[in-house]
Amino acid sequence: MNILIKRTLSLLLAGTLLLSGCAANCDTPPPAADRTEATGETGQPAGMPQEEMTTMDTTEHVIYLAGGCFWGIEYLMQSIPGVLDATSGYANGTGEADADYRTVCTGTTGFRETVRVTYDPDQVSLDALLLAYFYVIDPTVENRQGNDRGTQYQTGVYYTNEAARETVERIAAIERGRSEKFMVEIGPLVNFYPAEEYHQDYLEKNPGGYCHIPRDEIALFSQLRIDPGDYRKPAAETIRDKLTAEQYRVTQQSGTESPFLNEFWDKFEKGIYVDVVTGEPLFSSTDKFESGCGWPAFTKPIEAPAVVELPDDSYGIHRTEVRSRAGDSHLGHVFTDDPESPNGVRYCINSASLRFVPYAKMEAEGYGYLLSLFEE
């Protein structure tokens, strides 16, 4: 009986640690031998005025991402082709003396659990990394993500050079417009110290370990072909000049076109549908079906992260709005109870938000990398 009780208690404890998150280990300091000395990236305390902030990280293609428990963000970034290295550590805190897990867990250091990401821009853009980050975090909460609570779990994106700053601020502006609250810190890196060795590659070493990011979402980013960095949102005046009045009303003012009186509602030619603003590929004719709703209907996007789904309670109706990832164009709404849909899902999309690229012209227009969508 005693053995059974011990085994039961062990299982309960293991389950608690698995579900409770990174912070579960805060009360259990690692052996002294496991502590890693800080290695070089130094700076000033977080309270110093921005113009005096400095960092010794001169790597050109690097970004620092705080997104809750660093185990999950590290694992996500490692899954993305083109990421060269992802290192867990502590950023923008009081200084090297406090950059250890036990001290950071006290919540008094200002440090954020952060992942230093270096990448090859010929394989993946900074836009893609940032939009992957925003896809998996909750930007509306402060000092928490998933099961973890504490100032060390505050979200943030920290840059080290002007080129990265421009990209970070551009993407942050898009994401800020998608939320009523935006709690993500955006600013320069002050300092960074690598975390203890046992934190590095944690989920590779412990495949069943806690991760606040769903594993199926991480898997999505290991297979993506569409890089949003190739389809950047133009300036506001360019958009206005480029679009028709109806396209502008729909995409920029969240309008809705008339059913049955739009260009693509009954079109089933072979090809892809791209964002009329940026050209980013969104939907394929292989996933289009006749729904009878009067608008183009699709069972799914070409790649799930290519669209952003947001709650929409306008007109007293609870719906889920669909917007494009890179261009932030209003596309339409998604419904999950359509009896005419092969999978029950209907992405009901405004024709005015789309441009159709016929299969025969995909190669010439730069979409040849998606021709495999039509292979049987």
Q: Which of 191, 203, 178, 130 is CA-nearest to residue 330? A: 178
Which H/E stretch holds residue 129? helix 126-136
DSSP H stretches of helix in 60-104: 70-78, 101-104
pTM of the model: 0.85
CA distance 207 to 71: 11
For the four alpha carbons of 80, 196, 187 and 163, in that order, the dihedral sign comes to negative
**What is the CB neighbour count within 10 angstroms for residue 374?**
14
Q: Give residues with Cβ within 8 angstroms of 365, minimum separation 6.
A: 357
Q: What is the pLDDT of residue 22?
A: 72
Which H/E stretch holds residue 8? helix 2-20
CA of residue 39 relative to chain centroid, distance: 28
CA distance 154 to 106: 14
Q: Tokens 């999309």 identify what position? A: 349
Q: Give residues with Cβ within 8 angstroms of 248, minimum separation 6.
A: 239, 240
CA distance 308 to 304: 8
Query: CA-CA distances (angstroms) from residue 329 to 6, 55, 248, 308, 316?
Result: 57, 36, 9, 10, 22
Q: Which domains does the chain have, with CATH numbers?
A: 37-224 (3.30.1060.10), 230-374 (2.170.150.20)
DSSP H stretches of helix in 137-290: 162-176, 202-205, 215-221, 236-242, 245-253
pLDDT by 10s per residue, the chain, length 376 = 444 443 443 334 334 444 456 766 665 444 433 333 333 333 333 443 343 445 557 889 999 999 999 999 999 999 999 999 999 999 999 999 999 999 999 999 999 999 999 999 999 999 999 999 999 999 999 999 999 999 999 999 999 999 999 999 999 999 999 988 999 999 999 999 999 999 999 999 999 899 999 999 999 999 889 999 999 999 999 999 999 999 999 999 999 999 999 999 999 999 999 999 999 999 999 999 999 999 999 999 999 999 999 999 988 899 999 999 999 999 999 999 999 999 999 999 999 999 999 999 999 999 999 999 999 6
The answer to whether residues 318 and 336 touch, using CB atoms and an 8 Å cutoff, is: no
The answer to whether residues 86 and 116 touch, using CB atoms and an 8 Å cutoff, is: yes
Q: Which residues pair with 118 in a beta bridge?
A: 62, 85
Is position 69 annotated as part of the catalytic site? yes
> Is 27 exposed, middle or buried, given 0-12, 13-18 or 19+ CB atoms closer than 10 A?
exposed
CA distance 240 to 344: 36
Among 22, 105, 211, 348, which one carries the catalytic annotation?
348
The answer to whether residues 303 and 332 touch, using CB atoms and an 8 Å cutoff, is: no
Give the tokens for residue 79: 């899954």
Give the tokens for residue 231: 């389809």
CA distance 274 to 257: 17
Give the tokens for residue 333: 């709404």
Among 22, 69, 105, 211, which one carries the catalytic annotation?
69
